[in-house]
Amino acid sequence: MGHRLFRFSPPAWLNSPNTRTAGVYVSGGLFSIGFFVLLNAAIFSHAKYRGECKVTFVDWIPAICSSLGMLVINSIEKSRLSADSYSYSGTGVAWKARVVLFLGFALMAGGLAGSVTILVLKYIRPGVPFPPLGFGISDVVSNVLVMLSSVVLWVSQNLENEYSYNLTL
Amino acid sequence: MAGIRSIIALSSILACGFLLVILSCALDNNYLPLTVVATFILAPAPNWICGRCSNPDDFMETSGSAIVDFGRWFTGFLVVMGIALPLVFNYSGIISTQATVMSIIGGLLIYGTVVSFTMFFSQTEEEF
């Protein structure tokens, strides 16, 4: 491998297809944990908690934004991101792919920022005590987990590219 | 003979799993933990379906592996969902703690049976 970017070479187990498969499974599990942390807060606030500050649709909006961002980011064909260096691709394919990727990252970062906004504006600033404060914290945790899941999925799909590259040459 | 013995062992483990889940439902007369059974039985289904949809011949085409990846992702989602659902119910006080523990253990036994059964059968198919 003469065209490496970093000086440390990745360990050998990182390039195996088993690691890639495990990464995809772990990504699904992380997304599931994130979703159920939020669902837990919603169910708890409507089933057990008797008070003013309940989980409404507003609390779900950041998670929906993050999930849409994850969908957009991972729908992109990764090989098109560097397509300008190849002559057989059409005009501006890499540019379009980067715009869509930027939209995905903006959706995801917007989701995380929105969850922090809701935590501050709805829960911390009015000074609510702990059981409803946990709803806002679980909102942030859920968005962080969706982001983490997306990172794991992205990295493991890039590992697949490396693997097939090694296989063909 | 080894095949028959492992089939008997797997089916008894499956029966133990169903016993635990149904006991966790019937002790409190609250049949929400049965959703765990549905989740864990549905969990390998996306993997199978997407594995059939993909074409294994053209492994250079990345669109073939995308749907396999989606199946794996969804399977991971469903497996964690089967563990998380009783915990969520328990946290909100809908089901009791013993029902939570029993339904999680029973669901994991059912899922382990399904997965090991699939591996067993795919190995015997490769031999022929």
Nearest to B69 among A24, A77, A79 (CB): A24
CA of A152, closest CA in chain B: separation in Å? 11
Given a contact cutoff of 8 angstroms between Cβ atoms, the answer to whether B115 and B13 are in contact is no
Query: What count of Cα atoms within 13 Å lies in the side-chain half-sphere of residue A114?
Result: 17
Whether B85 and A36 lie within 8 Å, measured CB to CB: yes
pLDDT at position A117 over 50: yes
The DSSP 8-state label assigned to residue B1 in this structure reads: -
CA–CA distance from A54 to each of A41, A59, A121, B33 (Å)? 9, 9, 14, 26
Question: How far is B51 from B71, CA to CA, in rounded Å?
Answer: 8
ipTM field: 0.83
pTM of the prediction? 0.84
Find the CB nearest B73 among A28, A33, A161: A28
Decide: B114 and B38 in contact? Cβ < 8 Å: no
Give residues with Cβ within 8 angstroms of A15, minimum separation 6. Answer: A159, A162, A163, A166
How far apart, in Å, do the first and last CA atoms of chain B sit? Answer: 17
User: By C-alpha distance, which of B36, B11, B13, B15 is closest to B99?
Assistant: B36
Asked if B31 has any chain A CB less than 8 Å from its own CB, the reply is no
pLDDT, tens digit, 9 for 90 and up, residues B48-98: 888 777 665 555 554 557 788 888 999 999 999 999 999 999 988 888 999
| pLDDT tens digits, A44-57 | 888 888 777 788 89
Residue of B62, B79, B85 lying closest to A77 (CB–CB): B62
For chain B, which residues make up each domain, given as ranges?
Answer: 2-55+62-127
Instruction: Please report how many Cα atoms fall inside a 13 Å half-sphere around the Cα of residue B122, on the Cβ side.
Output: 7
Q: Calculate mean pLDDT across residues A15-39.
A: 89
* Winning range, highest mean pLDDT, from A119-128, B30-39, B72-81: B72-81
User: Which chain A positions have a beta carbon within 8 Å of B72's beta carbon?
Assistant: 21, 24-25, 28
A47 interface with B at CB cutoff 8 Å: yes
How long is chain A?
169
- Least confident segment among A92-96, A111-115, A158-162: A158-162
Q: Residue type at A147?
A: M
List the single residue in A with minimal CA-CA distance to B62.
Answer: A77
How would you write chain A as a 3-class SS string?
A: CCCCCCCCCCCHHHHCHHHHHHHHHHHHHHHHHHHHHHHHHHHHHHHCCCCCCCCCHHHHHHHHHHHHHHHHHHHCCHHHHHHHHCCCCCCCHHHHHHHHHHHHHHHHHHHHHHHHHHHHHHHHCCCCCHHHHHHHHHHHHHHHHHHHHHHHHHHHHHHHHHHHHHHHC
A89 has a chain B CB within 8 A of its CB: no
- What is the torsional sign of CA B110, B16, B33, B90? negative
Are A47 and B85 in contact (CB < 8 Å)?
Answer: no
| Angle B80-A122-B77 from CA coordinates, rounded to 5° | 10
Residue A164: per-residue pLDDT: 52
Residue B31: pLDDT band (50, 70, 90) is confident
The yes-or-no verdict on residue A12 having pLDDT over 80 is no
C-beta separation of A70 from A62 below 8 A: no
Residue with tokens 């807060």: A41
